[in-house]
């Protein structure tokens, strides 16, 4: 056996996913510019709200 498995996901694959998702999230783009401007002007709480709401907005466009 290769080691512990979380559900049906290998921990190495999970860490790879986390790394890839983090790299995609910090890559500059229009949404990151908006997030930076909003966070600087309205504070950290507003920035967190946008980060939480962004996936919902993208999902509603489908």
* pLDDT for position 6: 57
d(CA 54, CA 34): 11
Listed in sequence order, the residues at least 6 apart from 38 whose beta carbon sits closer than 8 Å to its beta carbon are 46, 47, 50
Could you say which DSSP state residue 3 is in? S
Give the burial class of 28: count Cβ atoms within 10 A of its Cβ; 0-12 exposed, 13-18 middle, 19 or more buried: exposed
pLDDT in tens, the chain (62 residues): 566 655 667 778 888 888 887 777 777 777 778 888 889 999 999 989 988 887 777 777 76
| Predicted TM-score of the model (pTM) | 0.46
* pLDDT for position 2: 62
* pLDDT for position 56: 79
């Amino acid at each position: 056996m290769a080691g512990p498995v979380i559900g049906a996901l290998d921990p190495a694959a999970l860490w790879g996913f986390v790394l890839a998702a983090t790299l995609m999230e910090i890559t500059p783009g229009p949404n990151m510019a908006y997030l930076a401007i909003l966070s600087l002007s309205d504070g950290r709480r507003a920035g967190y709200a946008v980060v939480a709401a962004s996936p919902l907005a993208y999902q509603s466009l489908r």
